[in-house]
Amino acid sequence: MRKLDTLRERRAELDGMLAAPEVIADQGRFRGLSIEYAEIAPVVDVYSRYRETQRAAIDAEALLDDGDAELRALAQDEVRRAREDLSALETELRRLLIPRDPDDSADVYLEIRAGTGGDEAGLFAGNLLRMYLRYAEGRGWQTEIMSANEAELGGYKEVIVKVSGHGVYARLKFESGAHRVQRVPDTESQGRIHTSACTVAIMPAVAAVDDVEINPGDLRIDTFRASGAGGQHVNKTDSAIRITHLPTGVVVECQDERSQHKNRARAMSLLKARLLAAERARQQAEQATTRRNLVGSGVRAHPHLQLSTGAGHRSPHQSHLVPTR
């Protein structure tokens, strides 16, 4: 309860800080405090309801010894309901107090790539994009198409979208992976069912430029003319940017903006997100390997396990496995 009381005091403190003119003028600080407020507010709200219900239960229990039988019956019902509510609120508090992923409040880069299935995979990629854009719209998030490589018959070979809003990564992070669909595509003339696949990657956007250090000498930056809509402008100006990170071979490009400077800034942000995601994947793989080496696979032939029969002529049924040292 002490931690919850501390959180309640902190929210009251944040209420005052967010209304201060000097904080409002500092957008970086204001954004950080707003994120903190949004994270603790649900916990404090549930805790307040818990305390109110607790007080109601105590008041109702005080009436259980009343001389009026009807009033005692009402008090019993009130106590029963209050205890049920307290149990539910306690469960909700436990859930809210589970440590969160530090990236849950981050914006994301959503990448969709057509895989197996040819033209139908491109159409499926377009369907996925529309689905995510409508979901984002329903939640009040902002979306920006960073780069798009359209397929010949519609849809996309590859499309990258930045999604901004509260709790975007927390909602979308489990969408990463391969997505498949089995259906009769528009490109099929004989009514046969096709299986098509797309890959989706959800990467948290790097909040600050200094979060990921990149040596400028490791970059190759190319400019080219943007493709797609834009009239004569795209035919005259090399505004699109392609950045190659030479040590890793990661390539990003951005052609959405007419300003080369803006496209470069967006491409750098995307590159940082990709490098950060790759580094985290490498660390997770190393941790998984270390864990396997420490605990073993559990199979009989695992090198970390040996069959020990102890001293003398023990029966095989009395043998046991012990870790090697």
DSSP state of 158: E
Residue pLDDT tens, the chain, 325 long? 788 888 889 999 998 999 899 988 888 888 888 888 888 899 999 999 999 999 998 988 888 877 788 888 888 889 899 999 999 999 998 888 887 777 787 889 999 999 888 888 899 999 999 999 999 999 999 998 888 888 888 889 999 999 999 889 989 989 988 999 888 877 677 778 888 899 998 888 865 444 567 888 889 988 887 665 444 444 445 678 889 999 888 888 887 666 788 888 888 888 888 888 887 778 777 766 765 665 544 444 445 444 444 444 444 334 333 334 3
- Indicate if the alpha-carbon torsion angle 289, 295, 301, 304 is positive or negative: positive
Residues 43 and 87 in one domain: yes
Complete edge-to-edge strand list for the sheet that includes strand 142-150: 142-150, 156-164, 108-114, 194-204, 177-183
Of 42, 62, 96, which marks where a domain is finished? 96
User: Is 311 within a domain?
Assistant: no
Which residue pairs from 312-315 have beta carbons closer than 8 angstroms and sit at least 24 positions apart in sequence? none
User: Is 20 within a domain?
Assistant: yes
Which residue has 């992923």 as its token pair?
101
Of 174, 205, 236, which marks where a domain is finished? 205
Residue 6's CATH number: 1.20.58
Residue 180's CATH number: 3.30.70.1660
**How many domains, the chain?**
3
User: Is 102 within a domain?
Assistant: no
Longest dimension (CA), the chain: 92
Q: Residue 54 belongs to what domain range?
A: 2-96
Q: What are phi and psi of 63, to 5 degrees?
A: -95, 0
Find out whether 185 and 123 touch, Cβ atoms under 8 Å: yes
Instruction: Tell me how crowded residue 232 is: count the other CB atoms within 10 A of its CB.
Output: 7
User: Is 145 within a domain?
Assistant: yes
Residues 117 and 192 in one domain: yes
Residue 251's CATH number: 3.30.160.20
Residues 116 and 184 in one domain: yes
User: Is 143 within a domain?
Assistant: yes
DSSP state of 147: E
List alpha helices for 62-107, DSSP H: 69-96
The continuous run of DSSP H or E covering 201 comes out as strand 194-204
User: Is 24 within a domain?
Assistant: yes
Residues 58 and 142 in one domain: no
User: Is 316 within a domain?
Assistant: no
Tokens of 226: 């943007």
